[in-house]
Amino acid sequence: MEFFETVRVRRSVRAYTEEDVPGEVIERALDAALLAPNSSNMQTWGFYWVRSPREKALLVQACMSQGAARTARELIVVVAEPRRWKENRDEMLRKLTANQAPAFALDYYSKLIPFTYGFRWLSPVKWLLFNVAGWFRPMVRRPWSGRDIEEVSIKSAALASENFMLAISAQGFSTCPMEGFDESRVRRLLKLTRADRVVMVISVGRENPSRGIWGPQIRFPREKFIKQV
């Protein structure tokens, strides 16, 4: 499917038929998700394809048994995992060194990333340094706290989620990104840590033509949102 057509036809579908989704469709979409842009290429995300009937039933309950979850053929949980920053930073350094990357790239991952992502106890000091430096020159003001790092990871996971959904649409199936779920129950179900954040649960299936969508897609006038400065 042509790209802009894929973007146009993607809808949040809330009811699916009983047609199964081939496993290779999900696999291709997950591979597309892993190609998404993400902050500093740290890839602090996780994708949990819930396939066990028992776990799937519990996940549906955690999603309030809404139609998009209850009728889904497949369910993917997208998780922000900021705790993975150190192991991923180390892997980046190994790969950059093997590829003979320039010195500034090695410095970025060996010095700046640990200062930014680590040393949580220095958060007030980092806030002060960033903002004082900003008085004299343009300066990135965040992230300086654990909450900021969590936010960065959530943004990256959301970008990957869009890649996944567009890849599903391009293969002729439908999705619904759900935010209506009990995060504590989902975290326990997947045995996540307290540092992990469940960004969304994405249902996948073949759209039920009579109940899948509620009507024509509604978008407000583009002039409301797009500004030229």
Between 23-27, 96-100, 146-150, 168-172, the lowest mean confidence (pLDDT) is in 146-150
Report the sign of the C-alpha dihedral through residues 79, 52, 19, 60, in that order. negative
Query: pLDDT category, 208, cuts 50, 70, 90?
Result: very high
Mean pLDDT of the chain: 95
**66 and 112 inside one domain:** no
**92 and 110 inside one domain:** yes
Query: Which amino acid is located at 229 in the chain?
Result: V
**168 and 195 inside one domain:** yes
Contact 175, 169 (CB under 8 A): yes
Residue 176's SS3 state is strand
Q: Is residue 223 part of a domain?
A: no
**24 and 7 inside one domain:** yes
Q: What total number of domains does the chain contain?
A: 2
Q: Is residue 196 part of a domain?
A: yes
Q: pLDDT value at position 106?
A: 97
Q: How many whole angstroms separate alpha carbon 87 and alpha carbon 109?
A: 12
DSSP 8-state assignment for residue 118: S
**11 and 78 inside one domain:** yes
**49 and 142 inside one domain:** no
Distances (CA, A) of 53 to 49, 73, 90, 213, 226: 12, 11, 37, 26, 45
Model confidence, pTM: 0.94
**72 and 12 inside one domain:** yes
Distance of CA 142 to the CA centre of its chain: 20
Contact 40, 182 (CB under 8 A): no
Query: pLDDT category, 213, cuts 50, 70, 90?
Result: very high
Q: Which of 128, 146, 164 is the endpoint of a domain?
A: 146
Q: Is residue 228 part of a domain?
A: no
Q: How many whole angstroms separate alpha carbon 137 and alpha carbon 177?
A: 40
Domain region containing 79 = 3-83+156-212
Q: Where are the alpha helices (DSSP H) in the chain?
A: 3-9, 23-33, 53-62, 67-70, 85-98, 103-107, 113-117, 123-134, 146-170, 183-190
Q: pLDDT value at position 127?
A: 86
Q: Mean pLDDT over residues 172-176, rounded?
A: 98
**115 and 170 inside one domain:** no
Which residues, 6+ apart, have CB-to-CB distance to 158 below 8 Å? Answer: 78, 199, 200
**62 and 160 inside one domain:** yes
* Higher pLDDT, residue 128 or 187: 187
